[in-house]
């Protein structure tokens, strides 16, 4: 499982001109699932996401987690995170999980985040989505389960 986390001041996702999810301060997660990913991977990454100390304290140091600041999450499925660009000019997406498996793990991941007390908004799995965000910092991190 691979997640690109971007700390954000606000973010939203639109499908066919309709806003499907929106958050205020928190994190935008681009979530990629590969063939071998399991619920254990989803739990590991969810725990990492909510507990990473990436928000500033009173002294401007990154000492607070998403839980500490009562931040929100916009979670976007992103199979292209498993695009292999080493050969040729067109990415190979063979590393991305098939949609049925990916959607199952992705849904479980979002469920775990919600169980940890985080407000989670999502786009539409498999849809063409327009993601709009105001990056805070910018702070952008990659989290992987393997």
> What is the pLDDT, as a whole number, of residue 50?
98
How many CA atoms lie within 13 Å of 64's alpha carbon, on the beta-carbon side? 15
Q: What is the mean pLDDT of residues 112-128?
A: 96
Residue 50 main-chain phi, psi, to 5 deg: -75, -20
> What is the pLDDT, as a whole number, of residue 5?
98
DSSP-assigned beta bridge partners for residue 133: 11
Do residues 28 and 6 make contact, with C-beta atoms less than 8 angstroms apart?
A: yes
pTM of the predicted protein model: 0.95
pLDDT of residue 8 exceeding 90: yes
What is the CATH number for 83? 3.50.80.10
Q: What is the mean pLDDT of residues 88-97?
A: 95
Q: Which of 92, 86, 75, 82 is nearest to 36 (CA)?
A: 82
Task: Indicate the pLDDT class of residue 146, thresholds 50, 70 and 90.
Answer: confident
Q: What is the mean pLDDT of residues 15-30?
A: 97
Domain that holds residue 17: 2-144
Q: What is the mean pLDDT of residues 28-54?
A: 98
Task: Tell me how far CA of residue 54 lies from CA of 6, 17, 129, in angstroms.
Answer: 10, 32, 26
Helices H, strands E: what count in the chain? 2, 8
Active centre residues (catalytic): 78-80
Helices (H), ranges, 13-145: 39-51, 99-115
pLDDT tens digits for range 126-136 = 999 999 999 99
pLDDT tens digits for range 44-57 = 999 999 999 999 99
Q: What is the DSSP letter of 105?
A: H
Number of separate domains in the chain: 1
């Amino acid at each position: 499982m691979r997640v690109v986390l971007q700390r954000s001041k606000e973010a939203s996702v639109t499908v066919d001109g309709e806003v499907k999810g929106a958050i205020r301060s928190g994190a935008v997660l681009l979530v990629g699932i590969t063939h071998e990913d399991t619920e254990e991977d989803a739990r590991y990454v969810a725990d990492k996401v909510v507990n990473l100390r990436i928000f500033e304290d009173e002294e401007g140091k990154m000492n607070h987690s998403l839980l500490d600041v009562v931040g929100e999450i916009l979670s976007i499925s992103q199979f292209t995170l498993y695009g292999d660009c080493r050969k040729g000019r067109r990415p190979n997406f063979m590393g991305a999980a098939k949609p049925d498996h990916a959607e199952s793990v992705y849904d479980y991941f979002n469920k775990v985040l919600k169980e940890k007390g985080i407000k989670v908004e999502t786009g539409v799995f498999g849809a063409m989505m327009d993601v709009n965000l105001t990056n805070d910092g910018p702070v952008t991190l990659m989290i992987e389960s393997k």
